[in-house]
Structure 1
Amino acid sequence: MLAGYYSYLWADVINADAWEAFLEGKGAYDKAVAKRLYDTVFSVGNTIDQEKAYENFRGRAPKSDALMRARNFPIKSKK
């Protein structure tokens, strides 16, 4: 049961991190970011490892900081 909770939590991390890709762009309707998401994640389906597909989209692995910001936890910037 606990493993199921963590998988949902990890899905929230990925969701928040992907949303930040749009915020880093022109916002929710950024066509370039949406196309990159479609081309690298949605259209490939399970033809490649999903972790690799997400990294192709973001250029890196998802970061849990995005979820913390989405839930209004203070995050210190790394300089």
Structure 2
Amino acid sequence: MDLRSRWEAIQQGFVDDPRAAVGDADALVRDVLDRLATTFEDQRQGLEDQWNDGEPGTEDLRSALQRYRDFFDRLVAL
């Protein structure tokens, strides 16, 4: 079941069992946050791997800093 479908099921279940629905909502939000954290950590690791292997030159480091800036901008825009 996709995330939207799970959310709709939680809302529908509220009428019959409000407490369980809120618990399910918490679990769903936790799941989404875990997925986001994993995705963003993988992207961050990829950035690190690009500059932290060997002896990068100044141009490589400048490019890496630009990629970090773009990544940072995406993170804070959430």
- The interval holding the TM-score normalised by the smaller chain is 0.3 to 0.5
Higher relative contact order (CA 8 A, sep 6+): 1
TM-score scaled by length of structure 1:
0.40
Greater fraction of residues in helix: 2
TM-score scaled by length of structure 2:
0.41
